[in-house]
Structure 1
Amino acid sequence: MRALVIEDDAALREQIIEVMKGAGFAVDSAANGIDGNFMAEEYSADIAIIDLGLPEVPGLEIIRRAREAGRSYPILILTARDGWQSKVEGLEAGADDYLVKPFHKEELIARVRALLRRSGGWSQAKLTSGPLVLDTSAQTLTLSGHPVELTSYEFRVLNYLLLHAGKVISKSELNEHLYAEDSERDSNVIEVFIRRLRSKIDPDGTGNPITTLRGAGYRWDWPRPEGDD
């Protein structure tokens, strides 16, 4: 998952980046409204965390412009404790949730994960599909009730596929949403992760949870429970 953090307070920005990276996110960041506005409109992201009190271009304006540009990723706004009016304005501008400063890192991650689940049409922290249960809070996987060990990147790939279940996800999209901007990216590595996931989730090759569409990408095809789509 890829997060965009727009915050002018250097210490807080670095704290958020550290927390997000620790939770398995690739992170892009901006320290002012001008850079943040450009990144919000042009960068690929799964979620944005935007401070409302930004210099040069206010957070509210960044949100409005991003939505006008067709950016549909969830937006979590950061606001001061007494800024109730800013909360309302932020939500009306197109934000999905808000977090009051100061905040605990656990609450930040919980809200981010909840927004990502909702954007993918999931209502629970445990993503259930066929005999598989991926717990996005505990970052664990069980298959027919039995634990399955995943590496950090295997978890990220599986989480992304599940959150976009039924949609075709290209290798380039997976690369963009898994790795930091300055990382070397090799599409062959994605193939390795997919192959490993298949061997762990569907070792006998009969369930076919991940469909490969030649030249297009991958699609998660196991069904969700009723009411979670």
Structure 2
Amino acid sequence: MKRELLILPAAAVLAVSACKKPAESRAADGAGTAGAPRSTVSAAPPAAATDAEPTAAAKATPQDADRAKRQAKLDFATMEDGYINDSNGQWATTAKASSAYGNSYKPGTDPGVCGAPDGKHWTNHSPDIGFEWVELSYDRPVSATEVRVVFDNDTPHGVRAINKIELIDNDGQTHSVWSGLSDAVEDKRGGRTWFVRKFESTPYLAKGVRVTIANAVDSGYKYVDAVQLVGK
């Protein structure tokens, strides 16, 4: 009797195993007959790229650095050439200033800002006290759209200390087109930094520009080489 009871469970196990094998065989690609040994399928290993360290960027060579430096100078020259030769731009023919370095300015004389950039410049009197300005006049009154102030890079202070640009109309009235804290920095690609401010075309004709410097904002002498008025 015990022998019969032992045989029955064994037979049941064999029956259950026989039922499962066809399902396992169908699940495996290319499996053989139901009686063939079942293939063991292992999970694919992670892609090599996920385990490997990221490839380091190629280190710049001295030749690469030199090329980048020369490209920056070329970009600066192209930008500056476009400004200087702008058909809608004009340079001052006369100018005056609130003061100048060493109190050397004489009313009625050019403080150093007339014409296109040439290395000559107006220099403020006080490195860090008060406000100083330079005012420029142009031959052709225009509906202005832009003012470009050129600072010599002999000192980086000017472009950070400029705090107001005003236009002067045919009646001698002043109109502020920009004021505040300068967001410009020295352009190290060339010998000058261009401070450029664009605005909507003025409903009046502008014949002059006044540039004001806040000396205490960035202590030091400021060199303004030229100021270009743009408009039609």
- TM-score w.r.t. the length of structure 1 is 0.21
Larger Rg: 2
| Higher normalized strand content (fraction of residues) | 2
| Higher normalized helix content (fraction of residues) | 1
